[in-house]
A and B are shown apart, each in its own frame.
Chain A
Amino acid sequence: MIEITDLNKKFNTQSVLKDLSLTIAGGEFCILVGANGAGKTTLLRILAALVRPDSGEVLLEKEPLFADPSLRRKIGYLGHQSLFYGDLSAWENLRHYARLYNLSNSEEIIRKCITQSGLTPHQHKPLRTYSRGMQQRLALERALMHSPSLLLLDEPHSGLDQDAANGLDERLRQLHLKGCTLLVAAHRPQRLLQSATHAAWLREGQITDKVTLDQLSDIPGLDSYIREVK
């Protein structure tokens, strides 16, 4: 699904990713772990084609990611921000995204997204009146509304209360069962251990280890990192 080879990215003089290589097969649910500033967000932004790497190759389904804009249709991205317009309602924001993705049955999809996020009573209120958690729930639906085959999530649980976080875990599990490939950056990844299949450890700009969760105990450092970070 994704093949990353010798990826490098610098911001000014600071090297964030250094010769990073990583392969994610179709259908994997991979947790990307790493300390603050390790480069998780930068890696996900490159995979979402939002930032161009300085060097290296990113292939999505064997095609260069940055060569063909239509490849971005296969990607769903949820970052630290909601990507919504505060003056528009949930309905209007989603309709805008439906137009950007040229979705044919947009009304039905938007209705489903709003129902799924539990925001039906608030759907016509401006987004700026929503709490962080409500925006995050809607942002997840925005990332999924065009049915991407690759989902990139950056700290998706942030801002969610316990019930919403549990709902998100269940949603991710179902998406994985349907065949969606997931790469989830998580600073505190324990809650994803039940549904994820792989874990990749990003340290000092490189993926130092990538294993299935069954093999986690073979990498004591990663195992203890995942289980002990709180």
Chain B
Amino acid sequence: MTGFRRYLQTVWAIFRKDVQVEWRGRQGVPVMLVFSLLVVFLFNFALQLSPQLQSGLASGLLWVTLAFAATLGLNRSAALERENDALNGLMLAPVDRSAIFFGKTLSNLASTLLVAFILMPTISLFFGQNLLKPALFLVVILGTGAYTCLGTILSALSIQSRTRDVLLPVLLYPLALPILIAASEASRGILSGQTLGELQNWLYLLLACGILFTATGLLLFETILEE
């Protein structure tokens, strides 16, 4: 029990450190937010769709914007650990290194969710459809959870590469396709009035992706870091 408590303390220490660095530097979340809002503005004014088509676009736009914004956040989070070799400092901690995975995933998830929760009312405003539904919040949490788990693993994998900024999206987007498809379909269903029961297949897929990528991080993160 003491060992597990110690493990959770390390996860929390890494999360707190990331929040503190973000608060001091303000280089992650503001960039993600500005990017996301710009995408919504651009789509709204560039496409000039009828209100009916606009409402159909909302779920797709939410997930495409979130995927790109989260990638910006993941790159920033990896850059933070690259500076002064700070990642090695985390690796020196006397606990299992999967704690680094959970700490980083938690902070990446927090920043992505913050952006999502600001993005949802903004899309509602511009695209004339209410996205502020409890069921949609559940889908957003499941989808961004699975996406940031996968993204954290891949950003650790690409951190040592010279082409890391390009490598992360190239690796991430194809592998995240099941998450993005399931999240978009579930969101579309909720916005068109379907119940969670009717969308359970998509929700199970999101849950399965989350479990799969969490287990992958738990098992492989140490090996990825040491290589």
Contact = CB atoms under 8 A, between A and B. Distances in A.
A52 B91 contact: no
A49 B208 CA distance: 33
Contacts of B13: 96, 99-100
B10 A100 contact: yes
B94 A52 contact: no
B94 A71 contact: yes
A82 interface: yes
B9 A99 contact: yes
A72 interface: yes
Interface string B80-91: 100111101111
Which of B14, B94, B97: most chain A CB closer than 10 A?
A: B94
Interface stretch (B19-27, B148-156, B179-187): B19-27
B86 A72 contact: no
A92 interface: yes
A50 B91 CA distance: 7
A77 interface: yes
B227 A84 contact: no
B24 A88 contact: yes
Interface in B1-54: 6, 9-10, 12-14, 16-17, 20-21, 24-25
B96 A50 contact: no
The binding surface of chain B is classed by DSSP as: helix
Contact of A83 (B84, B95, B97, B227): B84
B48 to A, nearest CB: 42
Nearest to B85: A81
A189 interface: no
Which of A49, A73, A85, A101: most chain B CB closer than 10 A?
A: A85
Contacts of B16: 96, 99
Contact of A100 (B25, B84, B93, B96): B93
Contacts, number: 85
Interface in A51-108: 51-52, 69-73, 75, 77, 79-88, 92, 96-97, 99-102
A85 B84 CA distance: 7
Contacts of A99: 9-10, 12-13, 16-17
Contact of B21 (A77, A79, A88): A88
Contacts of B9: 99, 102
B89 A97 contact: yes
A81 B84 contact: yes
Contacts of A87: 21, 24-25
B20 A101 contact: no
B89 A84 contact: yes
Nearest to A75: B92
Contacts of A96: 13, 16-17, 20
Interface in B168-227: 223, 226-227
Given A96-B13, A99-B9, A85 B92 contact: no
B222 to A, nearest CB: 9
Interface in A33-63: 48-52
Contacts of B93: 72, 100-101
Contact of B90 (A73, A92, A100, A142): A100
Contacts of A52: 223, 226-227
A52 B95 CA distance: 16
8 contacts: A49-B91, A50-B91, A69-B95, A72-B92, A72-B93, A99-B9, A100-B10, A101-B93
Interface of B: 6, 9-10, 12-14, 16-17, 20-21, 24-25, 80, 83-86, 88-97, 223, 226-227
8 tightest A-B CB contacts, nearest first: A83-B89, A99-B13, A81-B85, A100-B93, A73-B94, A87-B24, A87-B25, A72-B94
Interface of A: 48-52, 69-73, 75, 77, 79-88, 92, 96-97, 99-102, 126-127, 135, 142
